[in-house]
Structure 1
Amino acid sequence: MKNSHIHSQLVTIVAKIAEVDPLEVTPKTSLRDELDIDSLTMVDLVAQIQDDLGVQIEDEDLTRIRTVDDLVQYVRGRS
């Protein structure tokens, strides 16, 4: 999958889960600080990514995923 395609899909998923406009989601957007994605919401995000993209995010890797760009890079590396 191309990086831009992954980014586009993840922005859509993140915006849906965080209940924000996709235009508010940039590569540098912090999942926790700017979008208020807590641990419970992160579970929903991970499940949606798995359903939509077929990529499993390991629990121990979640602490390293802080921004949308981190998420894109992680998914890109797993797909």
Structure 2
Amino acid sequence: MNNVRIAHQINAILMDEFEIDEEVIEAGAPLKESLDLDSLDYVDLVVIIESNFGVKLTEHDFANMQTFQDFYDIIERKIEEKK
């Protein structure tokens, strides 16, 4: 799965599950400030990502995510590592 498909799928999840406006989601935008999710939302996001992509996200992964692009890249890397 390439980065463009991953980004599209993650963006769709964010818009559908967390009602994030499409205009907010930009590759270079700050992830945490743009999403404004609480801790329970992050738990839900982890579960949704795991079920959709088959990868596990850790607290360390989220600590390293500054932008949406970082999010896409981490998911892509984890998918590649699984192969």
Which structure 2 residue ranges, 5 or more long, are not aligned?
Answer: none
Matched with 1:72 is 72
Contact 1:18–1:36 (8 Å) recurs in 2: no
Which residue identity lines up with residue 46 of structure 2 in the other structure? Answer: V
TM norm structure 2: 0.80
Matched with 1:46 is 46
Partners of 1:48 and 1:21 in 2: CA distance:
18
Q: Counting helix residues as a fraction of each chain, which structure ranks higher?
A: 2
Task: Let me know the Cα RMSD of the aligned residues.
Answer: 1.6
Moved over 3 A (4+): none
Identity of paired residues, percent? 29
Which residue identity lines up with residue 10 of structure 2 in the other structure? Answer: L
Number of aligned positions between the proteins = 79
TM norm structure 1: 0.83
Distance 1:10 1:50, change over 3 A: same
Partners of 2:51 and 2:44 in 1: CA distance:
10
